[in-house]
Amino acid sequence: MTIVFYLIAAITIAGALAAMLLKSTVHCALALTIAFAGLAVQFLELDAQFAGFAQILVYIGAVAILVVFAILLTRGSEAPKGGVFSKSWPAGLAIAAMVFAVLGWAVLSSTSVLPNETAKPTVSVLEIGNALMGRYVLPLEIIAVLLTSALIGAVIVAKHEKGSAK
């Protein structure tokens, strides 16, 4: 935990805060990208090359673009007139705090489950590949089936709209 960690953490949190507080939705999406990038650099800082690059490829290259497309194709990028805050924000705050508490508790208690993980593990991409194709092949396949069905579902939804419009 060096100064680099705190710098990256500050940038990530600033990006996430900006994503919540900025007025224009496209600006929010771009700020969210900064948070994604910060997280990716954090992974790299921890020597997790694969996770870091996959984070950039998937989140910046695809998810951010998808978010931006969704914003532009739906309501337009102008800020709504009645303010961006929903009326039920206290409830949202409470739920967010609870989720954060559960996650934090899980992370903090994980050290007692794995007490021997003191040394920094070196994980090469080859090992990740072997693990995915060996021990974790079933979860991988299940996720693949899930994603394929989602893809087919998306195609069907898009096709249906086109058919009814004609």
Partner 1 sequence: MIKNADQIFVLLQHWVMSFFPHALQSLVGVLLSVVSIICVFPALFAISVLLERKGLGRMQNRLGPNRVGPLGILQPVADGLKSLTKEDIVPTSADAVVHFLAPVFLVVIVFMGYAVLPMGRNMTLVNLDAGLLFFFAMGASTELSVFMAGWSSRNKYSLLGAMRAVAQMISYEIPMLLASLVVVMMTGSMNLGRIVDVQNQYTWGLPHWYIFTPWGFAAFLLYATATTAESNRSPFDLPEGESELVAGYFTEYSGFKFALFFLGEYVGMLSVSGLGATLFLGGWSAPLAILNWVPSWIWFFGKVMLSICVFIWLRGTLPRLRQDQLMNFAWKFVLPLSLLNLIVAGLWRFMGEGLTRWVVCSAILLVAYVVMARVGMRKERFGPRSYRYAE
Dig out the tokens for 112 from the structure: 């007692």
Q: Please tell me whether residue 126 binds partner 1 under the rule CB under 8 A.
A: yes
% helix, strand, coil for the chain, step of 5: 75, 0, 25
Q: In whole angstroms, how close is the CB of 27 to partner 1 at the nearest point?
A: 8
Least Å distance between CB 60 and partner 1? 5
Site for partner 1 (CB under 8 A): which residue of 101, 125, 146, 157? Answer: 125
Distance of CA 74 to the CA centre of its chain: 22
DSSP string for 112-124? HHSTTTTSPP---
Which part of the chain contacts partner 1 (CB under 8 A), choosing from 67-75, 91-99, 100-108, 157-165?
Answer: 67-75
Closest CA to 35 of 59, 54, 57: 59
Distance CA 67, CA 33 (A): 10
Binding positions for partner 1, 21-60, rule CB under 8 A: 26-27, 30, 33, 49-50, 53-54, 56-57, 60
69 binds partner 1 (CB under 8 A): yes
CB of 80 to partner 1, least distance (A): 18
